[in-house]
Amino acid sequence: MVGSQPGHFFFADELHEWLAAETALGTVSRGGAEPGEIISTCGRIADGDDTSWFTEWCATAARLTQSADASRAAGRRVSAREAYLRAANYYGIANRPLFGRPVDGRLVDAFARQRAAFEHAIELLDLPAESFAVELAGATVPGWFLPCRDAAGPLLVLTNGYDAGMTELFLSATAALRRGYHVAVFDGPGQGRMLVEQGVPLRADWETVVTPLLDALLERPDVDADRVALMGWSLGGHLALRAASAEHRLAACIADPGLYGIREGMLARLELLQVAESLLENFPDIPDDILVPIEQLADSSRLLHWFLKQRGFWAHGVDSIGEYVRAINDFTLAGHLEDVHCSTLVTAAESDPLSSSASRVLEEITGAHAELVDFTAAEGAGHHCEWLNRSRFEQVAYDWLDRRLRP
């Protein structure tokens, strides 16, 4: 696993191991998976064979969908809802190794099945959820408003990062709903339905996404305009901070982790490769031959290849390293953090490379109260986004949020 202890839980293949050990196991406590289903599915997969991976996770998801259909037909709403939710999550896990351009038809088909299972689960919630859609530059930002039992509860808007969709956001939303928060989840540019169904790539100016969302949500009579918070995880931590720097109707922001930027990460890699400072001054206009070592580095590791050339290229809508470097140039918080005016919680997980910039983020938030919380391997929360102990993150994050929105 990236940035974690040596050894393997399931596979020797590093991509399959990371996806199984973190992406799958990390959703168990929130109803997205069961350990037995993970173990059984992984046991049927040929190590490193992506077709086998896709086939077996889809088979598990299809079996669960069938059982959920039977429960729903019998009027067993809770049983059906829980099975649909796990099925939706498993379809998403099945798709991960297929990321890339051109988009694999199997991914599109499984995504449609994931969406259907997720929406069946949403339809069976105790309190009716409401879908919404916001127009953005000729595209549509889809989302769901999830009410809690406390009609006067504050609103938490959740935002994803690179490779997750609304199913994963809903798994995070359950913790907020239990604590009396209304929750809004959505797929933004480069995410979920906007990427798969509309082909819309990521954009750095996330305030252009959040502002029209808030415009729509604040029209609701059950939303208190003075008690709205934004929480982002993975790349969403960076995007949430960028949005908060321009959207001053937010009362609080949580960045998990405090990721300063993708641009800075690429510059750091080029510096390690001893690229001349005179060339770096022209970033992102770097000659293609200078970027060859970056491509070689990506190709040297199956996991790095997936991160950069499959997930990264697809999400940013590019086809080469040079195009990718130019696409990520605006993904930086330089010059933005001083404009954050809401209370802000920044997190850092001990073994997560993306957390290395959290202290810098904290230092540059000068216009608002900001705190940094470190999560450690000793408490089982040292992985990226505390993925193997989200309960610990949720305890800290929601206790902090309660003190600000529900004193």
Residue positions annotated with a catalytic role: 234
Sequence-distant (6+) residues with CB within 8 A of 206 are 159, 188, 239, 240, 242, 243
Token pair 């000068």: residue: 366
Three-state secondary-structure class, residue 227: coil
Looking at residue 378, its amino acid is A
Token pair 């037995």: residue: 36
Helix axes of 77-95 and 166-178: crossing angle, nearest 10 degrees: 140
β-bridge partners, 229:
156, 252
302 Rama sector, left if φ>0, alpha if ψ -120 to 50, beta otherwise: alpha
Provide the Cα torsion 236, 238, 239, 240; round to 10°.
Answer: 80
Nearest-5° Cα angle at 55, 52 to 59:
135
β-bridge partners, 157:
184, 230
Q: Where are the beta strands (DSSP E) in 257-395?
A: 343-349, 370-375
Q: What count of other Cβ atoms lies within 10 Å of the Cβ of residue 126?
A: 10
Three-state secondary-structure class, residue 247: coil
The strand pair at 343-349 and 370-375 is best described as parallel
β-bridge partners, 142:
133
